[in-house]
Amino acid sequence: MTLDASPMIETDDRRYMLARVVDALLREDVQGITRQARVLEEAPVALSRLETPPLSPGPWLEIPALASGTLWLPVTPERFMQSWRYRHAPVVVVDAPDERPRELKDAASLIAWLGEGLEAEARDYYAAFADECRLAEQHRLACREARDDYFGRCAIAPLPTEWSARFAHYDRLAAFQDHPFYPTARAKLGFDVTALRRFAPEFQPRFMLRWLAVPEALFHASVTTLPEWWPSPERVGLDARLARDHRLLPVHPFLWASGLDAMLEEAGLAEGVIKAPLAAVEVQPTLSVRSLMLTERPETHIKLPLTIRTLGSRNIRTIKPSTIGDGHRVQCLLGAIAEQDARLAGRLLLTDEHQGAHVAGQSFLGFILRRYPSAVEDATLVSVAGLVAPSPGRANQREAAGGNGGVVYEELAERFFDGDVRAFLRAYLRLTFDIHLTLWLRYGVALESNQQNSMLLLRQGGEMRLLLKDNDAPRLQRDRLETRWPALYRLVEGLEDPRIWSESSRALEQMFVTITLQLNVAPLIEHLAARGHGERGELYGEVRRAMADSLAAMPEEDASPVTGLLERDFLDAKYLLTAGTLASKASTGASDINKFYGRTAPNFLKSAIGDQASPGAAPASANTRLEATP
């Protein structure tokens, strides 16, 4: 069903979303628009018939061979993640040579037009994404209003003293920040604006969990003993005798009210489970939406299935039963590595996620408990996703900054590194590479520790540690573990998801590049440069030095996989939009929609030295060769 464009959406919101979508189309070469483009230095003659003010000269990309007609995109040269980026000017299309060109003023209109000439299945994907663009605009407006309200309240309040309140504060700031690459990440498909306000981390609401009584024979738990705070049947309005042969399962209240009955009926469980009439246990959402912090026990979070989709229309947020066991196995592996490896000991922390359960193999009925280590209780915990988020700028901070708020990394540098942003950066880079390069080169482990799953734990005196959570989808090089570290291999030899295993280092390199470098490091570097904390090339030089220092500290390991990628012209980029929304698995060949790549990202590490000498270097050709890899 197509969403109507809301008259409340402001022009800036539409321009913002159009820019993000066009950039993603260029970055992922959707329908070959980058490969096929002809670069024009002047506005195309054909556009003189357009009923708009005079067009800026250029450059423009002309893409004439699309299924729906000809597309003209105003662009500017770019060196970060792509060769061209959208420039604010009209996006113009023409359906046939004898027709008048017309401007498309929003992302949904552009996506709908691109889908018009495609086969029926592909056209449906494009129509769905057009709806996603409209929803992202609506959700962005609502979240911006929430941010303005929250910033206003923060301006007159001190930073919370309780660790959990600081966690919630920085988590909320991270939620206001958009994903670096997926263009419509602001949209939580399945939520309308009312549900967004009731359940999304941008609003940090509190609500009570709902509960199902499940026959013990259907309740498959990794641990038989439930926590002491787990409610009894009486507490949720059920007969106490159910405790003999039933177990209570938590259900997110959104799922409870929006499709649970139909799911139970379809799974043949409607007659076997009992819906409790009362709610129990208060929670609030964290950055991942479906991971909920217990308000009375903030060190404990519970991850629940939620029938929304984020970062792609096929990224539905359920819990596959296999991830419960696999997450614990990888956690045990990482814990054992951290214990035995002096470079990681004391610097790598993990959440405990050994306890979970599911009902009869159903991915929408289950949970995972996440317990944070005691080390967080006298520290400040901040997700990497929130480092570049705007900070409210409390009264004393505003006065010191001349009336303007800063960003989170500046605030953290002020509190923990005597105001030295570059010292903060160097500590972060060395910590990141010491951990991830050691895991990759020594143990054959690459983690999907994206900016949401990676958290910094900071204390006074410049102490910084890395806390990782949700480690159920890594890539492991089997022969490296099995032959070199047999005791470690035995911890994970029973992994249920075969996609985790890799027979070569290639998949590990792709994970390191697209997660550690492109999500966790490069956006911070780009932001530092934009804020005047150093020249871009100089800052990427800091990245190269940190990597070199980390490699030098383990001379016994083969560093060639890392040194080789430093000198490539292009690196892999994750094609989130293509694999997650616009194309079927059959057409991409991707076994995992979150791990589909094309080698089209200009290598910011290789250009670091040249950037210092020639900041105006020309971009790579628009005809970059695609090397998509499932």
pLDDT at 44: 86
CA separation for the pair 225, 486 (Å, rounded): 31
What pLDDT does residue 2 have?
Answer: 53
- Token pair recorded at residue 253: 């209240």
The alpha carbon of residue 553 and the mean position of all alpha carbons in its chain are separated, in whole angstroms, by 31
The pLDDT of residue 3 is 58
Q: Which residues of the chain have pLDDT under 70?
A: 1-9, 394-405, 607-630
Give CA torsion, residues 318, 322, 323, 327, to 10 deg.
170
Burial of 17 per CB tally in 10 Å (0-12, 13-18, 19+): buried
Distance CA 274, CA 212 (A): 6
pLDDT at 617: 35
Secondary structure in 3-state letters for 367-436: EEEEECCHHHHHCEEEEHHHCCCECCCCHHHHHHCCCCCCEHHHHHHHHHCCCCHHHHHHHHHHHHHHHH
Residue 158 DSSP one-character state: P
Q: Determine the pLDDT at residue 96.
A: 85
Q: DSSP class of residue 51? A: S
267-281, pLDDT tens digit by residue? 999 999 999 999 999
Tokens of 600: 């089209």
**Torsion angle in degrees (nearest 10) through CA of 572, 577, 582, 587:** 20
Say what the pLDDT of residue 170 is: 97
Listing DSSP states for 207-242 in one string gives EEEEEEEEEGGGEEESSSSPPTTSPPTGGGT--GGG
CB neighbours (10 Å) of residue 217? 10
**pLDDT tens across 561-581, in order?**
999 998 899 999 999 999 989
Q: What is the pLDDT of residue 401?
A: 41
pLDDT, position 28: 96
Strand partners, 247: 214
Contacts of 98 (CB under 8 A, 6+ apart): none
3-class DSSP state for residue 451? Answer: coil
